Structure formats: C-alpha cells, structure tokens
A and B are shown apart, each in its own frame.
Chain A
Amino acid sequence: MPAVSKGDGMRGLAVFISDIRNCKSKEAEIKRINKELANIRSKFKGDKALDGYSKKKYVCKLLFIFLLGHDIDFGHMEAVNLLSSNRYTEKQIGYLFISVLVNSNSELIRLINNAIKNDLASRNPTFMGLALHCIANVGSREMAEAFAGEIPKILVAGDTMDSVKQSAALCLLRLYRTSPDLVPMGDWTSRVVHLLNDQHLGVVTAATSLITTLAQKNPEEFKTSVSLAVSRLSRIVTSASTDLQDYTYYFVPAPWLSVKLLRLLQCYPPPEDPAVRGRLTECLETILNKAQEPPKSKKVQHSNAKNAVLFEAISLIIHHDSEPNLLVRACNQLGQFLQHRETNLRYLALESMCTLASSEFSHEAVKTHIETVINALKTERDVSVRQRAVDLLYAMCDRSNAQQIVAEMLNYLETADYSIREEIVLKVAILAEKYAVDYTWYVDTILNLIRIAGDYVSEEVWYRVIQIVINRDDVQGYAAKTVFEALQAPACHENLVKVGGYILGEFGNLIAGDPRSSPLIQFNLLHSKFHLCSVPTRALLLSTYIKFVNLFPEIKTTIQDVLRSDSQLKNADVELQQRAVEYLRLSTIASTDILATVLEEMPPFPERESSILAKLKKKKGPGTVTDLEEIKKERSSDMNGSAEPASVNASAVSTPSPSADLLGLGAAPLANSAPPPSSSGSLLVDVFSDSPSAVAPLAPGSDDNFASPDLASSEVVSEEPADTVHDADELFHKFVCKNNGVLFENQLLQIGLKSEFRQNLGRMFIFYGNKTSTQFLNFTPTVICSDDLQSSLNLQTKPVDPTVDGGAQVQQVVNIECVSDFMEAPILNIQFRYGGTFQNLSVKLPITLNKFFQPTEMSSQDFFQRWKQLSNPKQEVQNIFKAKHPMDAEITKAKIIGFGSALLEEVDPNPANFVGAGIIHTKTTQIGCLLRLEPNLQAQMYRLTLRTSKEAVSQRLCELLSEQF
C-alpha cells in the first residue's frame, strides 16, 4: 500500500493503481482493467443502492482507466448523480468525470445543466466555483445556451466573492470563444471594463483576459479599457518589488497581469489622449530600463518573468510602430539577447526581430545584426533557433544585403535539416528574384539551388527561372552557357536537366559558335541524360530536340535518327510515342520556313507575380509570413500553376500556328506573342485580345478605318505643332484598373500599352502602330514629368527607331520606379513627320498610384482592428457619387481587384458592400490602405471610403477609384 495517497485517500483506488503499475505486460494490464470494469459494472447494476463514497470511488477508477487510454462507455449516470451530492469531494469527482469524459449526449447534458444551475444558485462559493469550472471545461454550445446569460450577472454582481468572479470571467471567455453569438453584450460590458480597477489583483488578472478577447471583436465598446489598462500597468511597473506581496513572482511585480495588460493594449492604436500616451511611453521606457539593471535574483524564474514582460512590451512597441526612439531601443535590447547564453532568449530575440525588420523605423537597426544572425545559422545547435535565424535573414533582406544573405542561405542549405529545406529553397528563390540587379546572379543562384537541394526545388521555382530567362534577353546567352556547363557534371539533378533542356532548346544557338558547345555537343550532352529521366522530363527533351532541328539544321539527321529509333517511336508511354511520331513527321515534311515559324523562339511570358510566394505562404500557413508585402494575390498562383510541361499535348504542333506553345509553359498561349510585323492590315487591337471590353468600342469596322492616309491628316491630326494634351480621360481612367489595352488611336497612329508592376517598380511596354502605308519619319516619343512628379516618380525610357514603316509597329520600354506617392500622371508626347506634315500629340500616360498596390488578405477581425487604427480624420477620405455604369456586383469586384487591392469577402456585415485592403509600395515607405465601397442601388449612388496612413494617398486613391463605377 503506497503512502503517497493524500487527502481523502480512496484506498480501493490506490490499490487498483498499484495493481496496474505492477502489471508486467500490456496483456496483464488489460486483463486487470477488464476485471475491474466487470466489477464496477456489476456494482452499478446491483440491487443494493451504492453509497456516495463507493460511487465516487468507482467513478474515479473509471476516470483513471479512461486516462490510461481505454474507452469508457458507462458510469456517466453515476457521475451525474454525484453532482447533486452535498459532499464536496463527491461533487468534485462528479464534475471532474464530466469535464474529462462528457460528450454531447443531450439527455445527459440536460441533467448536468440542471445540477450546474443548482450549484450556481447555491451561493456557496466553492460549489459555484466547481460549476463554473465545469462549464469552462466542457464549453459546449448547449452549456452556452443555458448559461451565457447568467454568468455575466454573476461576474458583475456586487456581492460575488472574488474567487467566483475570477472563475466567472474566464468561464465567460470560454463560452465567448466557442459561441460568440450566444453571449449577449449589454450593460455588463461597461462594468466588466471597470474590473481593471478592482483591488483584488487576481480578479484583474482574470478579467483582463476576458476584456482582451472581447475588445478584439468589439474595439469600440471596450475603448475605455485603454486608459484603465495604462494606469494599472503604470502602477505595477513603478511599484517596489514587495508592494504586490503574493503577486510578486521572483521579484518581478505581477508578471502575468503585466503581460495581459500589454496584450490588451495591442488591440488598439497608440492612445490619442496625450496624457495617457505619455504615461504609457513612460511605462515602456521603465520596462526597457529595468532590462539593463542587474538581476535581483540568479534564478531563471526571475529572468524569465522579467523578460516575458520585456518581450511583451517590445511587441506593443512594434504594434504601435510610431515611436522611433522606442523601436530603436527595442532593437538594441534584442541585439543583446542575440548573443545571450540562454538559448530561449536567442530564439525569442530572433523571432521578435523579424517583426521589427518590417518597420520603417527599425529596419536599418535590425540590419546591423546581420553578422550575428548569420553566425547563429552556422553555430546554433537547435533547429528551432536556426529556423528563426532563417526567418530573420529573410525579413531583413533588402537590395543592399541580398547577395550576402542569399549566399549564406545557400551555404546553410547544404547542411540544413530536411524539415526546413523546402522552405529555405523557396525563400532563396524569392529573394534572388526580388533583389536581382544582375540577372546572371539570379540564374547562378537558382542553378545552385538545384545543385544543392534539387529534390526540394518545386516546380514553381524552376518554371520561374525559365520565365525570367525567356523574358530578359540580356541574360539568355549567359543562361545557355551556364546550364551547358552545369550539365557537364556526371550526375546532375533531373530539375537541372529540365531547365537545361528548355533553355538550350530556346537559346542553344547563342553558344553554338563556341566549338566546345557546338550543336552536336549540346545535343549529345542532353541526350546522355535522357535515359535517366522520368517521362515528363523526356517529353520535354523531345521538344528540345525538335527545337534543335530548327536552330541547327546541320544536326537534323542525327535528331531524326534518335526520334526514329524504336525506343522512341514504339515507346510504351503514349505521350512520348506521340511526340516522337509527330516531331519526326514535322521535321521531315515541313519546309524550313514553316519549321522556323512553328518552332520560333517562345514569346515573352506575360509578367505575373511569382507563384513561389504563394507557395511559401501556403506552406507556412496564413498569418505566419509576417512581412505584409509578401502576401500576394491568390489568382496569380492559379495562373502560374497551370504552366506545366507534362500536360503538353503534342498534337498542338500539327497546326502550324506561329505562336504554338510547344512546351506548354505559356499558359496564356497567344495573347502575348508579337503580331507578325509584315501584315500591315493587322491592328494592334488583336494583341490585347484578353481585354475585349476596352477594345471593342475602339475598333468598329476597323478594316475601313486604318486605310486612308489622306483622311487622317485632314481630320484629327493637326498640321500645326499642337501641344494640347489629348485628354482622353475616359481612356486614361480605363487603365486605372487594368494594365493592357489601347491608350490612343486616330487614323494614323495607334498606341497600345502592356505594363506590369511589382511593389514599387514597374515596366511599361508602349507599342506604336503605324496604321498608314507611309513611313513615319523623325518619330520621337518622349515621356514628360512635371517638376513635382519628377521627385516622386523615376522613369527611364529607351529611345526608339526614328522611322516607323507603314503598317509596322515599334515598341518602347519605360522602366518605372515609384519613389513616393504622387498625384498627377506623366505625359507622353509624340512627334513625327508623316507625308511632309509635322505631327505632335500628347496623351496622359496611365501610371497611377494604385499600380503600386499589393493586395493584402486579412481576416475580418484584423480588418476592423486596422480600420479603427486609421480613425484619424485626416486619414479618411470619403466620396459620394452617382453611378456612371450599371451597378453590377461582379464587375465591381473585378474592378476592385484590378485596382490592386485584395477583395475581402465576408468582412463587411452588409454583404452588398465591398471591402478591400492592400499596401502601396513606394521606395521610401509602404502605406497600408483600406477601402470600403457601399452601393445604394435605389439611389444609383456609391459611397467610397478610403483609410490610409497618409492623407494624400487616401485622397488620390479615392479620386482614382471614384471614376471607375
């Protein structure tokens, strides 16, 4: 008989537990348990009524058996009986059994609720406590229905004992979490806030948790808690370590309450009242100061409690993101922790710094710790800590340190834990692309990734490198050379074969002049890998071979021999066989011209946002990619996701279309291919087939329209140098929500645009189409920025060829950098000579502030929290206007998404309203933007509200978006 039993000592239970512990095998244990279950069952069923003690003992045994991992399917009724016992311990065991074992057996729940009701009404604080604990433990909907109305009354009643208040507060919190709809707000809410002033610190501690959760959902209603929390915090922080008696924990005054108060304050923006704000700043400074004081105890509990408060204070400072001084101090403090001997502190410092890195005030300060963080990556023994170091490096990366950080991550990848490799690969790929100044570096980095961790390189990553190489002609030769060299390795990863195959198939000709990489050598090198590869890769290689037939006619017969071999023509895999047959046939019957057309170099991919980011986000779960700018459009991932070489249908080749998407990488097959320059009749319009709505009204009977030059000069284009801006406002506004289309058109000239924007950068392709059959001479397009605009918008244009042949089209690239937010649009001026007359026209170029929008998905809770934070009257701009277009919800949604913001569903309580969020990226700063559009169908009006952290931005975005509906 063990002597460890305490309290009431149920001897039978202790005996049973020892028996179980003495069982030598699992079988013996099960046998003993079955014996016991049979015994208890017979007792419960027996004729003789059991006394309370026996019931308690057997119920307790059942509980023990359940906790050992066995199923219990009886005894519930006996446990419920115990609830109505007057003996405390019997009641207590009954409640424990219910808490641990109850399921939503409605019959039983009614009985339990009845017992709870009696105990709540008993006015015996111990019984009330047990009942409240039980509600909190079970937390089911049925219980919420029964008690959610009752508990607030107990909580705020004047005569409720403190200990009951504490239980009631947390019990209500549990019910609010599981069934918020059942907890009625009411008079009690204001009285709950005043519990922050309660003299019993235990009551304040429990109430603060409740208030924090309620305030997250109903910030307006609990606003008064801010000043109360600040003064409470201030009293704690400034108290001597003995003032709070039992609430001082290892010389730290009320750490739990302090942390909870700091959490509560994180539901709100910095206090508006300067006195409260000043007091809070003082508190935060005091907490930071205390971190520098010598410890009052050597115990780890002392430092943990003290630092827990410190980290929570830093979280609040970061949340407010408004006091540069505090932010920098926080950063320095965390910097000290980075080198602390306690692993836990290093871990937390790395984690906390991640959020600090995204604040404009502290980003630079965080960067100064780069060496320490890199060192952590190399030396930390705990994978959790290394993981945080990777996260922090990713967060602190910018143009200035990208090369170093990427190199270190690559280095680390060689030895990284398998569990985090894929994530590192994604991060490296994202950083390399985002901060690539020199795309040869980008190509090198991705090939290194494949070499080091090929298995972890997902499709998104290698699709992306191909898209980038195809779209950037300055890197193609280098890429061809590099993959060729990489493929020399005797064993290379299949992903490298894919990238190599694709790139050499497109650009192998760029290195074929070198006898060391002659066509035949390239082919043999690729083909030597062929038999080691999977079917999809082989399919891709076959496409490369047919591309070689076009690029290198001199090795055509060699390739035909390969295609003709039995292993290809009679391959068991139908895809490979079909490719071999069709490619062989194509190479045999098609003329050189047709081959050249069919197998033409791939057109540039429509610039999309990287799907890698979406992947990273998905992998880490929403909310964990802290950096806001990283949150990208879902829809871009859909587009990229379909770029899948394996799904290529080889039969597409048999229709020799000039833009046949041989390898299937371009999901949107034709829209992006350059129009055949020879066909003078083709209008630019065709290029933008993906935007029919904009184009339709512009191209009525286009066949008649483009032809006669005489007509042109007389009507629209004046012969005098005309300096008036063609204020085609309507056209201009069309571009606010889209990037491609026709900007301007008259009888002579059509101007089309394709543009892409990412963060604060953008690129615009301007296509000038000569609609006449006569040459334009001295053709000079110029982009003009006013003085104001020049400081906010950095534009670089490349000159274009001064002659534009009749029917031809020239292209001009404008590189765009948004330095700070701006109002006006740049002007595009075009001058040229046409048939002896001088033409001069100007149009507004649709580079608008919203182009630098990045959508941000957020929950309803986050949205309203931020909405409140931007409640300063200057941050809000509102416009009420008449609808100019039919009020169609789907079109409105498309426009909001086209505007660049995320469209947040199920955020606004009124489903007819539209709510959006995003971030405007400029070089100097990032501006969070929230928008809300409320249509009134009856009045055919809209009300548009913009809230951003900057007045001018709210103003401009509101102007731009108001024109859209």
Chain B
Amino acid sequence: MIHFILLFSRQGKLRLQKWYTTLPDKEKKKIIREIVQIILSRNQKTSSFVDWKDLKLVYKRYASLYFCCAIEDQDNELLTLEVVHRYVELLDRYFGNVCELDIIFNFEKAYFILDEFIIGGEVQETSKRSAVKAIEDSDMLQETVEEYMNKPAF
C-alpha cells in the first residue's frame, strides 16, 4: 500500500500531503523535510526509486512539481509511477492543462480528485472516465457561482 503522497515544488515548497497511515504532526513534518531534501538532491537521469527506511520512495517530476509516493517493499514500483501519472492526468482533465498554481489555489479539489482515485493507500478506480465523472458530478451538485458571488468576500 501507499503510505503517503507528497507534492512539492523544485524550491522544496510542499503543495499537497496525503497520509494513509496515522502519524503525529511532528513526525510528519520531520519526514517531509527529510524526503524533500533527499529527492531534490538527486541528479536527473537517476532511477525513480530510493530506499528510505523500510519503505521505498517512488517519485517523478512534472514541470515544476515533484510527485512522490512512499510504498512498501513488495509493492510494484513501476505501477506506482503510473499511479502518479494517472493522477496527473486526472488533474489535467479536470483543470485543463493543470499547472502548479491550479493546485495551490484549488488544493481542496486536488484532495477530492485524489480521494476518488486512491483510498486507504490503495487504488480504487483506475478508469479515468469514472474518476473524473465522480468529481464533475460533485461540481454539478454545487450551488452556482453567482449565488456565491453575491456574498461578501470576508
């Protein structure tokens, strides 16, 4: 199973963290610091896999963003790369040419999309159509933008 997923920029700024195991906040912060540092210090052209404690980090860079998953020893590394890719595709399909800013300003959507795809560290739905449809359906359930625009900003 996937233990956690981190998205961070080339400057080391964390953009999204998703934990599938329960850890204290302090421990999470420590892990994030450590892993961001490990991945950013790796050269290009190296493999996408790094041993880390008793887990394995699988990571890939898309433009300015690094996507990193921590998986167990017996998990399939190559397919984890494709988990990342499928997630990027889902984001792309929803946002249309997704970029880092989309994820910053719509972090909650990035979480919702991830939840449709992975639950408890396991892939739930691999069909792009089904996963995106779930998100779009939920957007349909939303109140209209206008309704909100009439409300005060703060």
Tell me the A residues contacting B by CB distance below 8 Å.
2, 4-12, 14-15, 17, 21, 39, 51, 53-54, 60, 63-64, 67, 69, 71, 87-89, 92-93, 96, 100, 126, 129, 132-133, 136-137, 139-140, 163, 166-167, 170-171, 173-174, 177-178, 201-202, 205-206, 209, 246-247, 249, 254-257, 259, 263, 301, 304-305, 307-308, 311-312, 315, 343-344, 346-348, 381-385, 387, 621, 623-624
Besides A14-B105, A347-B47, A385-B46, 11 new A-B residue pairs in contact (Cβ under 8 A), listed by A number:
A53-B143, A54-B151, A60-B108, A69-B14, A69-B29, A88-B138, A163-B130, A206-B123, A301-B82, A304-B78, A382-B46
Q: What's the minimum C-beta distance from B36 to chain A, rounded to whole angstroms?
A: 12
Which B residues, 1 to 45, have Cβ-Cβ distances below 8 Å to chain A? Answer: 1, 14, 16-17, 20, 22, 25, 29, 43, 45
Which of B77, B115, B137, B151 touches A348 (beta carbons < 8 Å)? B77
Query: A348–B78 contact, CB under 8 A?
Result: yes
Q: Could you tell me the distance between the alpha carbons of A343 and B82 in the complex, rounded to whole angstroms? A: 16
Query: B124–A206 contact, CB under 8 A?
Result: yes
Task: Name the 10 nearest CB pairs between A and B, nearest first.
Answer: A174-B120, A382-B46, A308-B79, A308-B78, A88-B141, A170-B119, A246-B127, A209-B122, A347-B47, A343-B47
Query: A8–B143 contact, CB under 8 A?
Result: yes
Query: B142–A8 contact, CB under 8 A?
Result: yes
Q: Which residue of B lies closest to A168 (CB)?
A: B119
Query: A308–B122 contact, CB under 8 A?
Result: no
Chain B interface extent, by class: 35 or more
Q: What's the minimum C-beta distance from B32 to chain A, rounded to whole angstroms?
A: 9
Say yes or no: is B109 at the interface (Cβ < 8 Å to chain A): yes
Query: A92–B138 contact, CB under 8 A?
Result: yes
Contact status of A126 and B137, CB under 8 A, knowing A12-B153, A17-B104, A344-B48: yes
Q: What's the minimum C-beta distance from B94 to chain A, rounded to whole angstroms?
A: 8
Contact status of A6 and B109, CB under 8 A, knowing A170-B120, A247-B127, A344-B77: yes
Q: Which residue of B lies closest to A258 (CB)?
A: B79
Which of B1, B29, B78, B101 touches A4 (beta carbons < 8 Å)? B101
Query: B76–A308 contact, CB under 8 A?
Result: yes
Query: A11–B149 contact, CB under 8 A?
Result: yes
Query: A166–B124 contact, CB under 8 A?
Result: yes
Contact status of A249 and B142, CB under 8 A, knowing A92-B112, A133-B119, A170-B119: no
Contact status of A256 and B142, CB under 8 A, knowing A63-B108, A139-B120, A624-B73: no
Which of B101, B139, B149 touches A2 (beta carbons < 8 Å)? B101
Query: B125–A387 contact, CB under 8 A?
Result: no
Q: Could you tell me the distance between the alpha carbons of A257 and B122 in the complex, rounded to whole angstroms? A: 11
Q: What's the minimum C-beta distance from B110 to chain A, rounded to whole angstroms?
A: 11
Q: Could you tell me the distance between the alpha carbons of A383 and B46 in the complex, rounded to whole angstroms? A: 8
Which B residues, 60 to 79, have Cβ-Cβ distances below 8 Å to chain A? Answer: 73-74, 76-79
Query: A89–B49 contact, CB under 8 A?
Result: no
Q: Could you tell me the distance between the alpha carbons of A60 and B111 in the complex, rounded to whole angstroms? A: 12
Q: Which residue of B lies closest to A244 (CB)?
A: B127
Q: Which residues from chain B contact A170 at a C-beta distance below 8 Å?
A: 119-120, 122, 124
Q: Could you tell me the distance between the alpha carbons of A384 and B124 in the complex, rounded to whole angstroms? A: 30
Q: Could you tell me the distance between the alpha carbons of A89 and B106 in the complex, rounded to whole angstroms? A: 13
Q: Which residue of B lies closest to A163 (CB)?
A: B134
- The contact string, 1 if C-beta is below 8 Å from chain A, for chain B 111-149, is 110010001111111111110001001110111010011
Q: Which residues from chain A contact B138 at a C-beta distance below 8 Å?
A: 88-89, 92, 126
Q: Which residues from chain A contact B126 at a C-beta distance below 8 Å?
A: 201-202, 205, 247, 249, 254-257
- Pick 20 A–B contacts, CB within 8 A, sort by A: A7-B109, A8-B143, A15-B153, A87-B143, A89-B142, A166-B119, A170-B122, A174-B20, A201-B127, A206-B123, A249-B82, A255-B79, A305-B79, A305-B82, A308-B79, A315-B74, A344-B81, A348-B49, A382-B43, A382-B46
Q: What's the minimum C-beta distance from B76 to chain A, rounded to whole angstroms?
A: 5
Q: Could you tell me the distance between the alpha carbons of A474 and B135 in the complex, rounded to whole angstroms? A: 76
Query: B142–A88 contact, CB under 8 A?
Result: yes
Q: Which residue of A lies closest to B118 (CB)?
A: A170
Q: Could you tell me the distance between the alpha carbons of A7 and B137 in the complex, rounded to whole angstroms? A: 11
Q: Could you tell me the distance between the alpha carbons of A2 and B95 in the complex, rounded to whole angstroms? A: 14
Q: Could you tell me the distance between the alpha carbons of A132 and B48 in the complex, rounded to whole angstroms? A: 32
Contact status of A173 and B124, CB under 8 A, knowing A53-B148, A304-B78: no
Q: Which residue of A lies closest to B46 (CB)?
A: A382
Q: Which residues from chain B contact A51 at a C-beta distance below 8 Å?
A: 151
Q: Counting chain A CB atoms within 10 Å of each CB, which of B48, B76, B143 scores highest? A: B76
Q: Could you tell me the distance between the alpha carbons of A133 and B129 in the complex, rounded to whole angstroms? A: 20
Q: What's the minimum C-beta distance from B9 to chain A, rounded to whole angstroms?
A: 12
Q: Counting chain A CB atoms within 10 Å of each CB, which of B48, B106, B111, B120 scores highest? A: B120
Q: What's the minimum C-beta distance from B88 to chain A, rounded to whole angstroms?
A: 11
